[in-house]
């Protein structure tokens, strides 16, 4: 199946757009460059032999500081041909974290891209409404990054809860009240 996609891409845009292809993974995977993503995606959507009309899932991944890369992974499904495809875009962690938005082609990308932005801080160019979606709008940092550290406080509330400390103070308070009641 990947050969077919490669041939179609070659004939309609340009060759060597696909950096890497893996047929054995589940589902079959291609890796593309972020500059070519929009062109490849619209071809996957429009071409009558491919017709990937369903964008099931968009996932962001942070590979950590050592590997210096982040990824955005798209899972497509073609309803008429009943086959799936995984498309990966690899970004440099230190560089500009920006990917073209696919909202123009698939409307479902709207919320899913917002989620990736919220949790990873990857921007989507030309997205109509790039706001946080799950976290509060004034939250600092992007929680699913590997080097993320919880803030100590959010609006005066403790974010990090030390359970042991908390239960100890609670026990002390209970003991104190007990001793007071027995005294009186």
Partner 1 sequence: MSTKIQYQFKKDNLTNSAPNKYKEGELRSEELVINLGPQHPSTHGVLRLEVLLEGEIVKDVVPHIGYLHRCFEKHAESLPYNQIIPYVDRLDYLAAINSEHAYAMGVEKMLGITDQIPKRVEYIRVLVAELNRIASHFVAIGTYGMDMGALTPFFWLVRDREHILRMLEWVSGARMLYNYIWVGGLFYDVPVGFEQRCTEFVAYLKPKLKELDSVLLQNKIFVERTANVGVLPMDLAINYGITGPMLRASGLRYDLRKIDGYSVYPELDFDIPIGTGEKGQVGDCWDRNQVRVMEIHESLKIIEQCVEKLTKEHKRTKEFDPQAIVPKKIRPKAGDFYVRAENPKGELGFFFRADGKSDKPFRCKARGPSFVNLSIISELAKGGMIADLIAILGSIDIVLGEVDR
Cβ-proximal residues to 132 (8 Å cutoff; 6+ apart), any chain: 114, 117, 118, 139
CA geometry: angle 97, 72, 77, nearest 5 deg? 150
Q: How far apart are the first and last CA of the chain?
A: 83
Contact, 124 vs 100, CB < 8 A?
yes
Site map for partner 1, 47-66, x if CB under 8 A?
------xxxxx-x-x-----
Site map for partner 1, 92-131, x if CB under 8 A?
--------------xxx-xxx--x---x------------
18 contacts partner 1 (rule: CB under 8 A): no
Query: 13 or 57: whose CB is closer to partner 1?
Result: 57
- In the numeric block, the tokens 């990824």 are attached to 71
Site map for partner 1, 140-169, x if CB under 8 A?
---xx----------xxxx-----------
Contact, 25 vs 86, CB < 8 A?
yes
Residues at the interface with partner 1 (CB under 8 A): 25-27, 29, 53-57, 59, 61, 73, 75, 79, 82, 84, 86, 88, 106-108, 110-112, 115, 119, 132-139, 143-144, 155-158, 173, 177
């Amino acid at each position: 199946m990947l050969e077919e996609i490669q041939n179609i891409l070659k004939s309609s845009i340009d060759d060597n757009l696909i950096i890497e292809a893996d047929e054995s993974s589940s589902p079959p995977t291609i890796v593309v460059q972020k500059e070519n993503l929009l062109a490849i995606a619209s071809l996957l959507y429009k071409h009558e032999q491919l017709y990937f009309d369903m964008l099931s899932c968009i996932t962001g991944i942070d590979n950590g500081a050592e590997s210096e890369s982040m990824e955005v992974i798209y899972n497509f499904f073609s309803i008429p041909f009943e086959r799936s495809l995984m498309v990966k875009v690899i970004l440099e962690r230190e560089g500009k974290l920006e990917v073209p938005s696919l909202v123009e082609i698939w409307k479902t990308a709207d919320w899913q891209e917002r989620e990736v932005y919220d949790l990873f801080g990857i921007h989507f160019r030309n997205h109509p409404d790039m706001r946080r979606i799950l976290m509060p709008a004034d939250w600092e940092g992007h929680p699913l990054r590997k080097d993320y550290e919880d803030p100590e406080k959010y609006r005066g509330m403790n974010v990090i809860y030390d359970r042991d400390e908390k239960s100890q103070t609670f026990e002390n308070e209970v003991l104190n009240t007990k001793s007071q009641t027995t005294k009186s």
